[in-house]
Amino acid sequence: MNSHVLEVIRSPKVYDVVVIGSGAGGGAAVQVLTGKGIEVALLEAGPMLDPEKDYKEHMLPHHVDHRGAGEGGAHYFGRQPWGFFRAPNGAWDLEGEPYTVAPGSEFRWFRSRILGGRTNHYGRISLRFADYDFVPYSMDGLGTDWPLTYDDLAPYYDKAEAFIGVTGSIEGIRSAPDGIFQPCPPPKAHEHLIKQACSRMNIPCIPMRRAVITKPLNGRPACHYCGQCGRGCITASNYASSQVQILPALKTGKLKIFDQAMAREILSDENGRVTAVSYIDKKTRTEQQIRCRVVVLAASACESARLLLNSRSSRFPQGLANNSGVVGRFLMDTVGLGVGGYVPALEGMPHYDTDGFSGGHVYSPWWEWDKKNKEFPRGYHIEIGGGFGMPGVGSFQGQVNRIGGYGRQLKDRIRKEYGSFVYFAGRGEMIPNNLSYCELDPVTVDKWGIPVLRFHFKWSDYEWKQARHMERTFVDLIESMGGQVLGRRSPRQDGKGISVPGTIIHELGTVRMGNDPRSSALNQYCQGHEVPNLFVADAGPFVSNPDKNPTLTITALAWRTSDYIAEEMKQGHV
Ligand SMILES: Cc1cc2nc3c(=O)[nH]c(=O)nc-3n(C[C@H](O)[C@H](O)[C@H](O)COP(=O)(O)OP(=O)(O)OC[C@H]3O[C@@H](n4cnc5c(N)ncnc54)[C@H](O)[C@@H]3O)c2cc1C
Ligand code: SF4
């Protein structure tokens, strides 16, 4: 950024805390800090959100041009893979904000630019990490242990679940710790068959833990089971930080939101303390500085790493809080593999509303966590798909390709088969490795002149072995239901099969925490070892990426960090 050609406007006011980013981590930080009377300025790169206008819940495909396939039917031509009906401003590619991928690597990065970040878009699966997930190195000698334990985080999982609302049931399974749950809706029709297949194979299949409320909570009405969570929920019956934490926090009078404010650099003084954040005000295309006592960085794991790497000074020549050189390293995503099947036993069911909330009402937590001498380390859980659901553009393309033909015969067959497909998606743990990281691209900048990230990524033999185990399991499940496997992928070391890195959208680990400042950027409170008034409240601090989806843990950690900040501010330490 050519900051010397712009006039930099400094805020006269000094905020207690500047929070950068309004997703899961930023939302929790804003809620907890303002709730304690701390004055917060929130910088969000995207615009404000108006759920009534911006969410597309309850619209039918025929209400919009090309049934939601985008302008000119772009989706038919593969140009708009993220459909019209999705919650707004999230995409695989953002105009003017590129990233690069090093030769020999593959990586895709889904980003959101709107109040609430990706919590407007996410699947809301909300799983606690297990106690053993915090000590991976002690368990099998791979990776690194976290600087905190399950017991340290458990009270914050409790608070997070009770506040945002998560469905579930008490099961007593060590790989799926129980929590404070809302009642879960009953299994959908196909899920009954899946549960039976799981039980034949000794795989647990339990009610889903999802951030949807089935009973009213804090003024939010219960879910009315329209099955359209991915479009955003106008009644806030599912969790998005925008609706559940940030907009309510405005009522405290302690929050000022700066939307369309893209943080460019965090400024620090000669003592290594953060003093201000420099940002681009997209509305006026000016550079501004906002002063503060504390910064909470919650721009998402990779954006937070980028911002630190872009905040260089004589004291921090490799980027702020990065004298250890770990910022950007240990990038992980989740190992993903899916297999679908056609189950004749489900054919011809009456077409009634089985939508419930979006996604499965049941899932399978990892069942071999205590098995010795497994063929791969760690494990995965299974997410389950199927049922009727609202058809959209391209919903039946697979069947058209498989069945062939046209006209009445084809339509009758599609109607008969409707609802008789099931899908199993494995979500597994990746072991951090030295070949997977992000760094600043030496050449490419975004439309504001800010250097962008370049990604390097490699799955190791551990992940390929795990993917092969997933595939075998899913094939066995489908066949045990009397089904026919469709589109088998056969993951191979030298080819395709595991999800493209980044596409499970659980990228994390790039600002790792630890006890040793030589090998970590943050301590157990996600506080900079070298910069005591800098905190990171997204998935950057994660030390490992257990099979459980990360967002509930982002919220719990951000809550714990925010409690700690409030206490440290009270004591005058920061
Ligand atoms: C389709 C989809 C399904 C998913 N399903 C699940 C699931 O079921 N369960 C689960 O646990 N996780 C899921 N995830 C992942 C989940 O969305 C993320 O883990 C979570 O939102 C991350 O929270 P965050 O606060 O770190 O970042 P984000 O939610 O990404 O928020 C970051 C915010 O920071 C802003 N920002 C970025 N850079 C800057 C900057 N320089 N200045 C100012 N603001 C900035 C962004 O605009 C954004 O609003 C899914 C994600 C997607 C997209
Ligand atoms: S299914 Fe429930 S939570 Fe999801 S959008 Fe509909 S009402 Fe909201």
Q: Which ligand is nearest to the CA of 213?
A: 2
The whole-number average pLDDT for the span 128-133 is 98
**Quick one: pLDDT at residue 81?**
54
The whole-number average pLDDT for the span 169-181 is 98
Residue nearest to atom 4 of ligand 2 (CA): 229
Q: Does ligand 1 lie within 6 Å of residue 304's CB atom?
A: no
The whole-number average pLDDT for the span 403-428 is 92
**Quick one: pLDDT at residue 238?**
98
Contact, 513 vs 330, CB < 8 A? Answer: no
Q: DSSP states of 503-572 as a string? A: TTS--B-TT-B-S-TTT-SB-TTSBBSS-TTEEE-SSTT-S-B-SS-SHHHHHHHHHHHHHHHHHHHHTT
**Quick one: pLDDT at residue 5?**
46
**Quick one: pLDDT at residue 79?**
58
Question: Is the pLDDT confidence value at 269 over 50?
Answer: yes
**Quick one: pLDDT at residue 525?**
98
**Quick one: pLDDT at residue 119?**
98
Q: Identify which of 120, 331, 551 to mutate to test ligand 1's pocket (most ligand atoms within 8 A of the CB).
A: 551
Q: Identify which of 43, 89, 118, 357 to mutate to test ligand 1's pocket (most ligand atoms within 8 A of the CB).
A: 118
Q: Does ligand 2 lie within 6 Å of residue 229's CB atom?
A: yes
**Quick one: pLDDT at residue 217?**
98
**Quick one: pLDDT at residue 488?**
67
Question: Is the pLDDT confidence value at 6 over 70?
Answer: no
**Ligand 1 centroid from CA 198, angstroms:** 32
Predicted confidence band of residue 3 (pLDDT cuts 50, 70, 90)? very low
% of the chain surpassing 90 pLDDT: 83
**Quick one: pLDDT at residue 33?**
98
> What is the DSSP pairing of strand 421-428 with strand 335-342?
antiparallel
Task: In whole angstroms, give the CA distance from residue 36 to residue 336.
Answer: 40
**Quick one: pLDDT at residue 367?**
97
pLDDT digits (tens, 9 = 90+) for 373-390: 889 999 999 999 998 877
Q: Does ligand 2 lie within 6 Å of residue 59's CB atom?
A: no
Alpha helices in 291-379 (DSSP H): 301-309
Q: Which ligand is nearest to the CA of 57?
A: 2
Token match 């997410």: residue?
383
Crossing angle of the two packed helices 150-164 and 551-570, in degrees rounded to 10: 100
The whole-number average pLDDT for the span 544-568 is 98
Ligand 1 atom closest to the CA of 111, numbered from 1: 30
**Quick one: pLDDT at residue 77?**
72
What amino acid is encoded at 441 in this protein? D
pLDDT digits (tens, 9 = 90+) for 354-367: 778 999 999 999 99
Q: Does ligand 2 lie within 6 Å of residue 237's CB atom?
A: yes
**Quick one: pLDDT at residue 348?**
84
**Quick one: pLDDT at residue 195?**
98
Predicted confidence band of residue 565 (pLDDT cuts 50, 70, 90)? very high
Alpha carbon 133 to chain centroid, angstroms: 18
**Ligand 1 centroid from CA 176, angstroms:** 23
Q: Does ligand 2 lie within 6 Å of residue 324's CB atom?
A: no
Mean pLDDT, the chain, integer? 93
SS3 per-residue string spanning 74-138: HHHHCCCCCCCCCCCCEECCECCECCEECCCCCCCCCEECCCCHHHHCCCCECCCCCHHHHCHHH
Q: Lay out the sheet containing 421-428: strands in order across.
A: 206-207, 362-364, 380-386, 421-428, 335-342, 484-486
Q: Which ligand is nearest to the CA of 120?
A: 1
> What is the DSSP pairing of strand 100-101 with strand 451-456?
parallel
Q: What is the pTM of this model?
A: 0.96
**Quick one: pLDDT at residue 398?**
80
The whole-number average pLDDT for the span 296-309 is 98
Question: Is the pLDDT confidence value at 254 over 50?
Answer: yes
Task: In whole angstroms, give the CA distance from residue 164 to residue 175.
Answer: 22
Q: Does ligand 1 lie within 6 Å of residue 23's CB atom?
A: yes
- Residue 201: CB atoms within 10 A of its CB come to 13
Which of 25-34, 57-66, 86-95, 409-418: highest mean pLDDT? 25-34
**Quick one: pLDDT at residue 284?**
95
Question: Is the pLDDT confidence value at 530 over 80?
Answer: yes
Q: Does ligand 1 lie within 6 Å of residue 428's CB atom?
A: no
Q: Does ligand 1 lie within 6 Å of residue 245's CB atom?
A: no
Residue 91 region, left (φ>0) first, then alpha (ψ -120 to 50), else beta? beta
Q: Does ligand 1 lie within 6 Å of residue 118's CB atom?
A: yes
Residue nearest to atom 33 of ligand 1 (CA): 21
pLDDT digits (tens, 9 = 90+) for 460-485: 999 999 999 999 999 999 999 999 99
Q: Does ligand 1 lie within 6 Å of residue 262's CB atom?
A: yes
Judged by DSSP in three states, 451 sits in strand
Task: In whole angstroms, give the CA distance from residue 156 to residue 563.
Answer: 10
CA neighbor of 1 nearest in space, from 558, 407, 450, 507: 450
